[in-house]
Amino acid sequence: MNIVTMKQQVIRVIRRLLDLVDIEPALIRAMIRKPPAVHGGPRARRWPWPRRRHFDKREKGAVMQLLDREIRKGGAVIYGGPETKAYCRAFANYLGGGYAAAVNSGTNAVYVALRVLDLEPGSEVIVSAITDAGGAMPVALLNCIPVPADCRPGSLNTSVDQIRDVLTDRTAAILVAHLTGHPVDLDPILDLAGERNIPVIEDCAQAHGALYKGRMVGTFGAISAFSTMFGKHHATGAQGGVVFTKDTLLFARARQVIDRGKPFGTLGNPTNVIASLNFNQDEISMAIGRVQLEKLPGALQARRNFVALVASGLNDVKGVSLMGDAPGCAGAYWFLCLFVDWADLNCNSQQFAAALELEGIGGVQVGYPFIPTDQPWHRDAVVFGTSGMPWSLRQQSRPQHFELPNAHAINQAIVRVDVHEALGATEARDLVVAVKKIAAYYRASKSSTVPVDAAETVSSTA
């Protein structure tokens, strides 16, 4: 056995031992290596950025209890059983009362929420300019036409002014997304929609527990959709979603849509009353979700505490500011957004984000470049083969192009950092130190005619 092979085996053994005691190799490296100097001084954070550990023995215990019960009974894992009923009841109670139906993804939650409204093919549905693809594609899959309302200037969210700009006599619904956990300013939108008798659907995938004027988002519109995939504030496993409404008839219709058109809410009709698919969630996911839902209030408080510390620390930083809560609102903070004034700093968003990573900050991304109607499925009308549907239902040869200047501008203006429950005072301090240090560095280099690249910063200062 040569020296290289022996070294590889030793490394594998060490890694297994570290896994057994739940120690990350990066932590060991940080202990034995002196961190490099970057941006003119020691790195802001020496230790690895904490991972989100939102699953623990409680979720494992809930799943094992369910499996043990079914093994003992001689049954199988089903859907629509006691775990599902308990989860949906707890979710509705968390939102202050109403009706909740669990589905197998957040995208399907949006689809179901739209489907229950019985929108006519070819009608228009206003959607948020920036949103996950699952917040716009279901519109086209229902043979309706998605019409993006641009963002409010300086925000990822849309507003009543932008919605009014694209409202027509063909508008059948308004679907608004509460991006990054910040509530949309709903009252003016609801007033406008009420004047036209247009239903409002809330996409709350990123805003579990966010408050608008003291009330939970998701409780204002006719119906709302939540995602409970693994990355959200509370999860039902790998994937999942919830449809919520306070309307009994809409809830009955949602249950029909979710379960292949079964006759929930009807009398004397044992057959499938509408054509639909199977969007049901399973009992294992619901057992996990029940535990996660119990953790949600504490998780939200931890996120808000972290952001509050960061906001306090960045009060006096020239060229960088934090996207905070609007008056009367409390964000859920799926991630935090840093506004960077590129006129004041000699860098661009990619360089600033790369610099944060070099300083030891984790979960850093540039902007939020999710603009579904800029994508090929919309641009080239490739939803239903070569038919051009749903756009061809209005005798259009191709979909209308939307410039969306505010949406594109905000993506050049922000750097975002993922937020989760394991981030505390230490991480808030390190993030503030890193931002201040980078801002000072790039402000000092303002006299240079060429922006300093963050990657070059390491080699020049190490």
Tell me: the pLDDT tens digits for 145-157?
A: 999 999 999 999 9
36 in a structural domain: yes
Judged against a pLDDT cut of 90, whether residue 451 lies above it is answered with no
390 in a structural domain: no
195 in a structural domain: yes
What's the pLDDT at 4? 58
Judged against a pLDDT cut of 80, whether residue 374 lies above it is answered with yes
Domain's final residue, options 245, 276, 292: 292
Domain's final residue, options 292, 325, 349: 292
* CA distance to 68, 319, 396, per residue, from 439 (Å): 56, 7, 49
Judged against a pLDDT cut of 90, whether residue 14 lies above it is answered with no
381 in a structural domain: no
Residues 198 and 75 in one domain: yes
Provide the pLDDT confidence category of residue 455 given band limits of 50, 70 and 90. Answer: very low
Residues 65 and 192 in one domain: yes
Tell me: the pLDDT tens digits for 164-201?
A: 999 999 999 999 999 999 999 999 999 999 999 999 99
What's the pLDDT at 117? 98
Residues 153 and 196 in one domain: yes
Judged against a pLDDT cut of 70, whether residue 84 lies above it is answered with yes
Whether pTM > 0.85 for this model: the answer is yes
Judged against a pLDDT cut of 60, whether residue 5 lies above it is answered with yes
Domain that holds residue 10: 3-51+296-368+411-461
d(CA 354, CA 340): 14
CB atoms within 10 A of CB 163: 25
Residues 273 and 173 in one domain: yes
What's the pLDDT at 18? 55
Query: Could you tell me which residue, 141 or 459, shows the higher pLDDT?
Result: 141
Judged against a pLDDT cut of 90, whether residue 238 lies above it is answered with yes
Tell me: the pLDDT tens digits for 343-357?
A: 889 888 899 999 999
Provide the pLDDT confidence category of residue 395 given band limits of 50, 70 and 90. Answer: confident
398 in a structural domain: no
How confident is the prediction for the chain on average, in pLDDT? 91
d(CA 292, CA 285): 10
406 in a structural domain: no
111 in a structural domain: yes
Tell me: the pLDDT tens digits for 27-83?
A: 555 556 666 778 888 899 988 999 999 999 999 999 999 999 999 999 889 999 999
Residues 215 and 361 in one domain: no
What's the pLDDT at 316? 87
Write the CATH number for 36.
Answer: 3.90.1150.10
Over range 200-218, report the average pLDDT. Answer: 98
Query: Could you tell me which residue, 431 or 75, shows the higher pLDDT?
Result: 431
The gap between the terminal CA atoms of the chain, to the nearest Å, is 37
Residues 85 and 149 in one domain: yes
- CB contact at 8 A, 330 and 210: yes
Residues 262 and 176 in one domain: yes
Domain's final residue, options 292, 320, 343: 292
41 in a structural domain: yes
Query: Could you tell me which residue, 447 or 142, shows the higher pLDDT?
Result: 142
Judged against a pLDDT cut of 70, whether residue 458 lies above it is answered with no
Percent of the chain with pLDDT strictly greater than 90: 79
Write the CATH number for 164.
Answer: 3.40.640.10
Residues 177 and 317 in one domain: no
Judged against a pLDDT cut of 70, whether residue 449 lies above it is answered with no
What Rg, from alpha-carbon coordinates, does the chain have? 25
Q: How many structural domains does the chain have?
A: 2
Query: Could you tell me which residue, 447 or 176, shows the higher pLDDT?
Result: 176
Which residue in 446, 428, 452 sits closest to 361, CA to CA? 428
